[in-house]
Amino acid sequence: MLLRLAPGFPDEAIVPAVERLRGSSREHDIAILIEDRADLVRAAAADGVHLRRAAAYGEARRRLGPEMTVGISCGTRDEAIDAAEDGADYVAFGDFDDLSPAQAAAELAEWWSEMMTVPCVAAGCTSVHDAAQLAAAGADFIALGTPAWPALADSLRDIAAALSTPDPA
């Protein structure tokens, strides 16, 4: 689970946010990663950090040590290879804000899965079709894109409403 913080999100609100997520995430063996804030991972008792810039890797790894997860978004093959060689726990291809996965992300995931052992995440998934495409390309993990969440919330509300309505029969 990637905790992406809006600009200006107060640091003091991060710890309680992670605390609220921790119980159910651990129960389901889901890691909590904070985007671009390695400085807050330990205080929040998160599992690691996801970096949008590979240049931030060295500092994040020094702060978190080898036991915590450090993953990196990569835009090119060379960037991904460098990240893996430096010790990144995973590389991510694609943009979490994409309306649909870019063909380039699927191609990078496919190439990566054939050549490398470090896991890769394909980001930008907003539909079943996208998920199938990225999985077929060889992504180890699929990250829902930001545009998928409002529709997911609406679907969950509809399901909850349907389940709470008494059966007329």
Q: In which band, very low, low, confident or very high, does the pLDDT at 156 lie, cut at 50, 70 and 90?
A: low
Beta bridge partners of 69: 48
Q: CA 78, CA 169: separation in Å to the nearest integer?
A: 62
Q: Which fold has domain 2-164?
A: TIM Barrel (3.20.20)
* CA neighbours closer than 13 Å in the CB half-sphere of residue 108: 24
pLDDT value of residue 88? 98
List the strands of the sheet with 90-93, edge to edge: 2-3, 33-35, 48-51, 69-73, 90-93, 120-125, 141-144
Residue 30: is its pLDDT beyond 60? yes
Tens-place pLDDT, residues 54-105: 999 999 999 999 999 999 999 999 999 999 999 999 999 998 887 777 788 8
pTM score above 0.95: no
What beta strand segments (E) does the chain contain? Answer: 2-3, 33-35, 48-51, 69-73, 90-93, 120-125, 141-144
Give me the residue spans of the domains in the chain.
2-164
